[in-house]
Amino acid sequence: MVHSSMSLPRLVGLFLCSSVRSAAAFASNSPFITTTMPFTTSLNSVKFAKYEGLGNDFILVDDRDKEAPSLTPEQSAKLCNRNFGIGGDGVIFALKPPSEEFDFKMRIYNSDGSEPEMCGNGIRCYAKFLADLGEDASKYTIDTLAGPIIPVMNEDGTVTVDMGEPELVASNVPTTLEPNFEGDSAVEQTLECNGKTWKVSAVSMGNPHAIIFVDDLEKDIDFEVDGPALESHEAFPARINVEFVQVMAPDHLKMKVWERGAGPTLACGTGACALTVAAIRAGKIPPGGNNRVTLPGGDLFIEWRESDNKVYMSGPATFVFEGTANV
Ligand code: ZDP
């Protein structure tokens, strides 16, 4: 509250020190050093930072003092619009940890406003955002709708993430495809869609993935038609992310992704993890390697580790710009 007795110089002083205080909170090498306004949402505007992981791009909002996102799914979808908004494949919220075992919580809305359980490229961007905000740590334990996820900051600026164990039981992915493989899972199971017969493997990394191996990514699929048809096929009650995959070498896979709730994106981290698991189970590549997955936006390295059955994903995350947007 401002008292009338406060002189103008005192008022200016107050403003300056509050802005210096919030700026000082950021990491010394933070890209936000010039920013004085905190990354929060006010009545009709939101302060945000934009990050990308292999061209999979996200709007990051700092809600570390909140338990739930400060924006609605509708507001988030509008912000993701590349003409009427900021543009992005999703909005990610840094939230208060639900309990002491976690450092923070993450929630994400896809560009259509739907809420997925997890995101691979997004959590690397999230970890970079925390570091840039001054939450200086070599790793973070993040609570997500898919459970605890642990990004580790590497010396070279990339991030390696413990993505947890893959879910292989078909009904848990979820899919109504008949299990045809050990562990009640669906591996290259037949599916009719769009007048074509597909061989589909179903894997969940917290979010659902349908993986389809093809001989030639350019010739064997009509991406813009087959992608959305498979995404919304009745065999996938929660809809599904669709990865079309070509095996390039025993440790190298190439993919195109049609994302649930986002359409064609340049990269999908959970998808890269899911397709690596599917490739090993379908006998396309040997188990145990640190596999290169080439996405339209670049390469990720994925390891399904036999010792703990967990999937580890390594890749970049880059700050692009920051700003304030109307909501
Ligand atoms: O599961 C889904 O609805 C995905 N569209 C979520 C986003 C996934 C993401 N692209 C990733 O990298 O895993 C962020």
Helix (H, G, I), strand (E, B) or coil at 220: coil
Q: CB-based contacts of 82: which residues, under 8 Å, 6+ apart?
A: none
**Alpha carbon distance 48, 60 (integer Å):** 6
What are the tens digits of pLDDT across the range 181-207? 999 999 999 999 999 999 999 999 999
Ligand 1 atom index nearest CA of 117: 1
Distance 208 CA to ligand 1 centre (A): 9
Kindly state the tokens that stand for 226. 């087959």
Q: Is 193 a catalytic residue?
A: no
**Alpha carbon distance 3, 266 (integer Å):** 54
Distance 111 CA to ligand 1 centre (A): 10
What are the tens digits of pLDDT across the range 220-269? 999 999 999 999 999 999 999 999 999 999 999 999 999 999 999 999 99
Ligand 1 atom index nearest CA of 207: 1
Ligand 1 atom index nearest CA of 268: 12
Burial of 180 (0-12, 13-18, 19+ CB in 10 A): middle
Kindly state the tokens that stand for 277. 């698991």
Specify the pLDDT at position 306: 94
Ligand 1 surroundings by CB, under 6 angstroms: 56, 110, 116, 119-122, 207, 241, 259-262, 265, 268-270
Helix (H, G, I), strand (E, B) or coil at 100: coil
Q: DSSP strand E in 154-270: where?
A: 159-162, 189-193, 196-204, 208-213, 241-249, 252-259, 263-265
pTM, entire model: 0.89
Q: Which residues in the chain show pLDDT less than 70?
A: 1-43
Q: Is 17 a catalytic residue?
A: no
If one counts every other C-beta atom within 10 angstroms of the C-beta of residue 246, the result is: 17
Of the residues 80, 125, 193, 268, only one is catalytic, namely: 268
**Alpha carbon distance 277, 280 (integer Å):** 5
Of the residues 80, 119, 125, 273, only one is catalytic, namely: 119
Rg (alpha carbons) of the chain, rounded to whole number: 21
Distance 118 CA to ligand 1 centre (A): 7
Kind plus residue range of the DSSP H or E element containing 143 = strand 142-144
Specify the pLDDT at position 313: 98
Specify the pLDDT at position 9: 56
Q: Phi and psi (nearest 5°) for 280?
A: -70, -45
CA distances from 297 to 28, 236, 257 (A): 30, 27, 11
Specify the pLDDT at position 28: 62
End-to-end distance of the chain based on CA atoms, in angstroms? Answer: 27
Ligand 1 atom index nearest CA of 270: 13
Measured by CA distance, the residue closest to atom 7 of ligand 1 is 119
